[in-house]
Amino acid sequence: QFFVFCHGLLQLSQLLVSGYLKSSISTIERRYGLSSQTSGLLASFNEVGNTLLIVFVSYFGSRVHRPRLIGCGAILVSLAGFLMSLPHFITGPYKYDQSVASAFSNVTDLCRPGAPGPRGNLSGAACTPRTARENHEVLLVMFIAQALLGIGGVPIQPFGISYIDDFASERNSPLYLGILFSVTVIGPGVAFMLGSAMLRLYVDVDKVSGDRVQLTHKDPRWVGAWWLGFLVAASLVALSAVPYFFFPREMPREVGGGCRFPLFLSDFPLVLLRNLRHPVYLLVVLAQVNLSAMVAGLATFMGKFLERQFSLTASLANMIIGAVNIPGAMVGIVVGGAILKRFQMSLKQCSAMCVLGMLLCLLVAFPLLFLGCPTQRVAGVTYSVSPGPGRGSEGCSLPCTCPEDAYNPVCGADAIEYVSPCSAGCQVVNVGADSSVLNYTGCICISGGWNVGSAEPGTCGTGCSHLFVPFVVLSCLAGILASTSHTPSFMLILRSIQPEDKSLAVGVQFMLLRVLAWMPGPVLYGSAIDTTCILWEKQCGRKAACRYYDNTLFRHRYLGLQLFFEAGAF
C-alpha cells in the first residue's frame, strides 16, 4: 500500500511536469516568438524518447531491480523539469513596446510628428547576433529537456504497474491500478490549475521589481512566470523519487497472489503479427488513435483557442480547462466503467456503447463550430480606417514615423483596435500614480480629427462573451460523451485477444497511440492554427509568434480537425 501511495504521488508529479508545458504553451510562444507549429512539435517531442525505449523496457521488466529503475527515471524527469525552466535564467529580461520611457529605455511608441526617420521599437531593437543565438539556445535546451522527460518516463508506468500486479493479491490489484489510473486523469487538471496560478505572476518577478512593470495580466503583451511551475513540479518529482531507492527488488506477495506471463524476444514478431492481423484489435486501436489525436490537439492548444476566441487571460483559460473540461472527461470514464460493471456487457454491447458514445459526442460537438467570435476590427490588419487628415489606414499615421514592428494594442473610442498608440496617431499618454497607463489622447486616426480622438490601453476584445458559457458547457458535454467509450474500448482489446498476448498487445497499443496520435497530433494542430494567422511578429527578419488570427478560420480549422477525428473514431 505504501508503494501504491508513492507511485500515485510520482505519477501525479510526473504528469505535472508534462501537463504544465501544455498549460503555458501560449505564454512560451509569446515570450520566445514561436509559431504554433514549433510549439506543437515541442509539446510532442517527449513522445520521441518514450516511444524509442518503451518496448525494450517492457521486455526487460522482470529481470531488473524495478523500484530502483523507476527512481532513476524519476530523477531524469526531475532534471528535465529543471532544464525546461533554464531558458528563463540564460536570457535577458522580457522586453515589450511601451509608451512611457522607463529605466530600460527612452524609446516610446507614441506619435511624434516631425521626428527624424522611422524609429526602432523596443521589442525588436535588440536584434544582435547574440539574441539570434539566444533564441536557438532556448529551443535547443527545451527540446533536450522534452526528450529527457520522455526517456525518464519510460520505466515509471510499466514497471510500477507490473510491480504492483506481481505482489498485490488478485483481489486488490484492480483497486490499486484503478487508484493509479484515476491519478493519471487528475494530473493534467492539477497541471492546468498550477499554470493558472503561475501565469498571474509577471515573468521577470525575480529580475524586476513590481513597480517597474507597466503591464497587468489582462494586457496582450503580458507574459506570466511560466518557468516557476516547472521548478515546483520538478522539485515534487525529485522528492517523490527518494523512496524508490529503498524498496526491495521483490516483496512478499499479499495473500492470494496473481501470475505473470513472461515475454520472450523470439516470440515477439509472431505475437505482434498475430495481434495486428486480429480485426477487432486493429480497428479498436485505430479508433483509439483517432480519439488520442483529438485529445492531443485539445490538450495542447485549447487554452490558446479560448484566449483568442473569447479574449480570456491565459490564467483564466487554464482555470476553465483544469476545473471544467478535465474533470468532465474523468466523469465520462467513471460513468463508462460503471455502466459496464452494472450491466455485465458482452463484447458486442461494449462496441455498441462505444459507437453510441461517439455518435452523441459528434452531435453535441457540431454546434461548437458556430459558437465563437468574429475577428476584432484592427486598423490596417483586418479593417481599413478612413478618418483623419491622411485618409486611408496608413495615411493618417504617416507623419508619426512609427516603429515598423511595434506591438502595444490600444482600443480607440471608435471601437477599432490599433496595433500601437503610434499607429492610432496618439501623441499624449496619461499615466496614473502607480505609473500604469490610463489612456491616450490626441489620436489623429481616431474619428474626430486632431484633438478629439482618445484610446484605452489593451485590445478591444472580441465582444461576444455571452457565447462563452454555452461553448464551455457543450465542449464539456462532448468530452464526457467521448470518454464514456474509454473503458469499453479497453475491454474490447483485452477480451478479444489471447490471454498470453495481453501484456504485449497493450504495449503495442500504447506504442501505436504514441506514434500515430501523440507525436503528430500537436504538430498537425499547430500547423493548422498557423495557417489562420493574419499578422506575424517579426524577430530579426524571421517570422516569430502570431499577433492576430482570423478568428472564424481558427475556429473552423481547429474544431473541424477535432470533428474529423471524432468521426474517424465513430
Note the pLDDT tens digit of each residue in 496-511: 877 777 767 777 787 8
Domain co-membership, 473 together with 357: yes
What is the domain count for the chain?
Answer: 3
The CATH number given to whatever domain includes residue 223 is 1.20.1250.20
**Confidence check: pLDDT of 107 > 90:** no
**Confidence check: pLDDT of 318 > 60:** yes
Within-domain flag for 159: yes
What strand order describes the sheet that includes 454-457?
A: 417-418, 410-412, 454-457, 437-441, 428-431
Lowest mean pLDDT among 64-73, 176-185, 238-247, 444-453: 444-453
**Confidence check: pLDDT of 426 > 70:** yes
**Confidence check: pLDDT of 568 > 50:** yes
Which cell is 48 given?
Answer: 520521441
- Check residues 164 and 79 and name the one with the higher pLDDT: 79
Confirm if 549 and 532 have CB atoms less than 8 A apart. yes
**Confidence check: pLDDT of 265 > 70:** no
Give Cα separations from 448 to 161, 394, 412, 415 (angstroms). Answer: 70, 17, 11, 13
Over residues 508-518, mean pLDDT = 86
Residue where a domain stops, chosen among 431, 460, 489: 460
What pLDDT score was predicted for residue 93?
Answer: 87
Within-domain flag for 261: no
Over residues 219-226, mean pLDDT = 90
Residue where a domain stops, chosen among 218, 250, 282: 250
Domain co-membership, 39 together with 187: yes
Beta-ladder partners of 378: 417
Confirm if 411 and 444 have CB atoms less than 8 A apart. no
Nearest to 503 by CA among 5, 52, 8, 54: 54
**Chain-wide mean pLDDT for the chain?**
84
Give Cα separations from 540 to 75, 106, 127, 557 (angstroms). Answer: 38, 21, 5, 29
Lowest mean pLDDT among 146-150, 373-377, 438-442, 492-496: 492-496
Confirm if 425 and 401 have CB atoms less than 8 A apart. no
**Confidence check: pLDDT of 136 > 90:** no
Over residues 358-378, mean pLDDT = 93
What pLDDT score was predicted for residue 357?
Answer: 95
Q: What percentage of the chain carries pLDDT values higher than 90? A: 41
What pLDDT score was predicted for residue 450?
Answer: 46
- HSE-up (13 A, CA, CB side) for residue 429: 22
Domain co-membership, 328 together with 401: no
pLDDT-based confidence at residue 387 (cuts at 50, 70, 90)? very low
What pLDDT score was predicted for residue 261?
Answer: 43
The Cβ of residue 345 has, within 10 Å, a number of other Cβ atoms equal to 16
What pLDDT score was predicted for residue 69?
Answer: 92
Helix (H, G, I), strand (E, B) or coil at 383: strand
Bridging pattern class, strands 410-412 and 437-441: unpaired
Tell me the per-residue pLDDT of 267-287, one tens digit each, with 9 for 90 and over: 667 777 887 888 888 999 999
Quote the CA–CA distance of 537 and 33 in Å, as a whole number.
8
pLDDT-based confidence at residue 390 (cuts at 50, 70, 90)? very low
Within-domain flag for 233: yes
Domain co-membership, 359 together with 477: yes
What pLDDT score was predicted for residue 127?
Answer: 67
What b/e sequence results for 229-252 when a residue is b if at least 16 CB atoms lie within 10 Å of its CB, and e otherwise? bbbbbbebbbebbebbeebeeeee
Q: What are φ and ψ of residue 98, in 5° steps?
A: -140, 160
Q: What are φ and ψ of residue 543, in 5° steps?
A: -70, 130
**Confidence check: pLDDT of 105 > 60:** no
Within-domain flag for 518: yes
Count each helix (H run) and each strand (E run) in the chain, helices first: 21, 7
Helix (H, G, I), strand (E, B) or coil at 439: strand
**Confidence check: pLDDT of 259 > 50:** no
Domain co-membership, 57 together with 153: yes
Domain co-membership, 235 together with 277: no
Task: Give the structural domain span for 217.
Answer: 1-97+131-250
Residue where a domain stops, chosen among 435, 460, 485: 460
Domain co-membership, 388 together with 366: no
Quote the CA–CA distance of 484 and 364 in Å, as a whole number.
14
Within-domain flag for 258: no
Domain co-membership, 6 together with 150: yes
Q: How far apart are the first and last CA of the chain?
A: 39
Quote the CA–CA distance of 302 and 89 in Å, as a whole number.
28
Lowest mean pLDDT among 16-25, 137-146, 428-437: 428-437
Over residues 406-425, mean pLDDT = 87
Give 506: exposed, middle or buried? Use CB within 10 Å, 0-12, 13-18, 19+. Answer: middle
Lowest mean pLDDT among 243-247, 449-453, 492-496: 449-453
Over residues 218-223, mean pLDDT = 86
pLDDT-based confidence at residue 386 (cuts at 50, 70, 90)? low
What b/e sequence results for 123-149 when a residue is b if at least 16 CB atoms lie within 10 Å of its CB, and e otherwise? bbbeeeeebeebbeebeebbbebbbbb
Domain co-membership, 171 together with 28: yes
Domain co-membership, 283 together with 177: no
- Residues constituting the chain: 570
Domain co-membership, 512 together with 490: yes
Nearest to 109 by CA among 436, 424, 376: 424
Assign 3-state DSSP to the chain and report helix, strand, coil percentages, each to 5. 65, 5, 30
Over residues 236-251, mean pLDDT = 93
Nearest to 289 by CA among 475, 481, 521, 49: 521
Sheet strands (E) in 201-313: none
Within-domain flag for 119: no
Tell me the per-residue pLDDT of 468-494, one tens digit each, with 9 for 90 and over: 999 999 999 999 999 999 888 888 887
What pLDDT score was predicted for residue 256?
Answer: 52
**Confidence check: pLDDT of 448 > 60:** no
Domain co-membership, 55 together with 86: yes
Within-domain flag for 503: yes
Q: What percentage of the chain carries pLDDT values higher than 70? A: 88
The highest-confidence range among 189-193, 344-348, 393-397, by mean pLDDT, is 189-193
Within-domain flag for 113: no
**What sign does the CA torsion over 389, 391, 395, 397 have?**
positive
Over residues 343-356, mean pLDDT = 91
